[in-house]
Amino acid sequence: MPEGTITYGQLRGSVSKIAGGLIAKGVVPGDRVALQVEKSPEAVMIYLATLMVGAVFLPLNNAYTTSEVAYFLKDAEPRLFIQDAPGFVADAETAVALDEPIPRSASDLASIIYTSGTTGRSKGAMLTHGNLAANALALHEAWGFSPKDVLLHALPIFHVHGLFVALHCAFLSGAPMIWLSKFDDAQVLKGLADATVMMGVPTFYTRLLANPAFTRDRAAHMRLFVCGSAPLLPSTFAEFQDRTGHTILERYGMSEAVIITTNPLDGARLAGSVGFPLPGVDLRIGGGEETGVIEIKGPSVFSAYWRMPEKTAEEFTADGYFITGDVGRRDADGRVWISGRAKDLIISGGFNVYPKEIELILDEMEDVTESAVIGVPHPDFGEAVCAVVIGAGDETAMIAKCRAQLAAFKAPKRIFFVDDLPRNAMGKVQKNLLRERYIGTFPS
- In our burial notation (b when 16+ CB lie closer than 10 A, e otherwise), range 425-437 reads bbbbbebeebbee
Closest approach, Cβ 437 to ligand AMP, in A, equals 21
Comparison of 374 and 426: residue with beta carbon closer to ligand AMP: 426
263 three-state secondary structure? coil
Q: Which is nearer to ligand AMP, 16 or 339 (CB)?
A: 339
Length of the chain: 444
* Cα dihedral: 157, 162, 164, 165 (round 10): 180
Strands 292-297, 414-418: pairing kind: unpaired
In 3D space, the residue among 222, 192, 154, 176 whose CA is nearest the CA of residue 4 turns out to be 176
Helix (H) or strand (E) segment spanning residue 206: helix 202-209
CB of 100 to ligand AMP, least distance (A): 33
| Minimum CB distance to ligand AMP smaller for 40 or for 115 | 115
Query: CB neighbours of 117 closer than 8 A, spacing ≥ 6?
Result: 123
Distance of closest approach, residue 335 Cβ to ligand AMP, in angstroms: 13
**Number of other CB atoms surrounding residue 84 within 10 Å:** 15
Which residues would be at the binding site for ligand AMP (CB under 6 A)? Answer: 115-116, 160, 228-231, 250, 252-255, 274, 324, 326, 338, 341, 426
Of the pair 222, 230, the CB lying nearest ligand AMP is at 230
Nearer to ligand AMP, 214 or 252 (CB): 252
Shortest gap between Cβ of 428 and ligand AMP (angstroms)?
Answer: 6
For ligand AMP, give the closer residue by CB, 109 or 259.
259
**Shortest separation between residue 194's beta carbon and ligand AMP, angstroms:** 27
Shortest distance in whole angstroms from residue 253 CB to ligand AMP? 6
Strand blocks (E) in 298-442: 304-305, 322-330, 336-341, 346-348, 351-353, 368-378, 382-391, 414-418
Contact 358, 412 (CB under 8 A): yes
170 vs 274 by CB, closer to ligand AMP: 274
Q: In the Cβ-directed half-sphere of 132, how many Cα atoms lie within 13 Å? A: 30
- As measured in angstroms, the least distance from the Cβ of 127 to ligand AMP is 11
